Structure 1
C-alpha cells in the first residue's frame, strides 16, 4: 500500500504512525511518499533484520556486501556494494536515526557511483527501463534521498505480526515529474519490503518449529 501524504481512507492507525514518525521537510523540487507492508512475523524478528545497518544484505536482494565506518551509532556511514547488472556498484549511506525501543531507523544517501542516489540495490529486472529513464545525464548527483522505516506490532491471522512503514523524500530529476519519480522509488522500496516479508516469514516459521520441538 502506498500513501502519498494525504489521508485517503487508510487505516487510522497507519495514518497516525505516518503523521507521528514520518515527517519530512519537502521542498518544491522534491517528492515524498510512504509505503505500508503487513508482515506475518513478530516485531522482534523483523527488527532483527532492519536494525542491522551493517548488514542490509540480510534482506535486500541486490546488496552483495557492506562495509561500515563507525560503531553503528548515529552518523555511521556504510558503503553498500550493489550486485552486478545494475547502473551502480556502490552506495554511501549515513545512519540518521536509530531507536531500538520504538523500532525506527532513518538513513540518508551521501555518495556513490550512481547518478540517481536512491536505493538502487532493491531494483528488479522488471524496472530496468525505468532506471534508465531516471539515470541520465540530466540528473544531479545530489538527489538528497533520505528514508525512515518504522515497525509496529499488530495481529495477523491471530498471530503476532508487524506493520512496516517506509517513507522517503528525494529530489525530482530534470525532465521527470513528481509522479514518475515517486513511482520509481516506490517500486524499489516495495521490492525490499517484499524480501523483508519473505525472510521474516521464514524466521517466524523456524521460531515456531523450534518452540514446538522444545516442548
Structure 2
C-alpha cells in the first residue's frame, strides 16, 4: 500500500462540524462522531471500493467522513479550516502513545525544541512551547481541550505566544485499520484558525497544512521505527 497524505480543504464549509467554536468540547461529541466513522467505514468501504473518480474506495470513505465531520459550517469570514489524513504502518495504540503526550510534543513534532506544562496535566492545562528557529514564531501557549484515551482523540487550542496563529484549535483522531495485512493507524487532523491581516485564506491554510504535513510525516517515521522494534511508549492515564 502506498503511503499517502491527503489534504481536504474546507474553505467553503458545507456540512455539520465535528466541533463548534461557540461552545466547549464534550466527550460525548467525540464519542458520537467516533461511532459515525466506524459505521461509515464498515458500511461503505466495500460498496465504494474502486469506484470514486479512480482514486480508490478507501480514499473516498475518508474524504466523505472528513467533509461531513471535520469541516466547520460556523466559520467566521476571517477564519479558515482544513483537514489532513495520514496512514501509518503501526498499531493505533503505539501511535496514540506518542500523540497523547501533551507534555512532550517534541517526541514527534520536529519544530518544537522544548515544552513545559504549567501545573498538573489535566483538561484545561497549559503548555509553553519553544519553537525551533526557521519559523515565524518563537513561543506558543496551548491549552489541552480534550484527551480521550478510549477514543484516541486529542484536541488543543492556542491561547497565546509569539506567532500569527490566532484562535487556532485542532483535533487529531486515530482510527485502527489494516495496512498490508498488518495493524495500522488512520490519523485525521483538522484545524480552524483566524486569517492574519494581509494574508488570504488560501495562504493561511497552505502554511498551516505544511506544518501539519511535517508533523504527521514525523509521527509516521517515529511510530513505524518503534513498531519495527516492537516498542510502545508507556501510557499513564490522567
TM-score by structure 1 length?
0.78
Which residue number corresponds to residue 161 of structure 1?
Answer: 184
Which residue number corresponds to residue 80 of structure 2?
Answer: 31
Which residue number corresponds to residue 181 of structure 1?
Answer: 204
Show structure 1 runs of 5+ residues with no match.
Answer: 118-142, 209-215
Which residue number corresponds to residue 3 of structure 1?
Answer: 8
Matches within 5 A, 1:1-215: 1-5=6-10, 10-13=59-62, 15-16=64-65, 19-20=68-69, 22=70, 24=72, 25-114=74-163, 116-117=164-165, 143-207=166-230
Aligned length: 181
Contact 1:152–1:164 (CA under 8 A) maintained in structure 2: yes
TM-superposition CA deviations, 1:169-194 (whole Å, max 9, x none)? 01112222211111111011000000
Relative to structure 1, the CA distance from residue 202 to residue 164 in structure 2 (aligned partners, 3 Å threshold; closer, same or farther) is: same
SS in 1 for 2:227: helix
User: C-alpha displacement at 1:165, in angstroms?
Assistant: 0.5
TM-superposition CA deviations, 1:91-135 (whole Å, max 9, x none)? 100001111111000001111122x12xxxxxxxxxxxxxxxxxx
> What do you get for the CA RMSD once the two structures are aligned?
2.0
Show structure 2 runs of 5+ residues with no match.
Answer: 1-5, 16-51, 54-58, 232-238
Relative to structure 1, the CA distance from residue 107 to residue 197 in structure 2 (aligned partners, 3 Å threshold; closer, same or farther) is: same
Which residue number corresponds to residue 128 of structure 1?
Answer: none
How far apart, CA to CA, are the structure 1 residues paired with 2:62 and 2:112?
32
SS in 2 for 1:207: coil
Contact 1:18–1:165 (CA under 8 A) maintained in structure 2: no
Contact 1:49–1:58 (CA under 8 A) maintained in structure 2: yes
Contact 2:66–2:83 (CA under 8 A) maintained in structure 1: no
SS in 2 for 1:168: strand
TM-score by structure 2 length?
0.71
Relative to structure 1, the CA distance from residue 89 to residue 96 in structure 2 (aligned partners, 3 Å threshold; closer, same or farther) is: same
SS in 1 for 2:186: strand
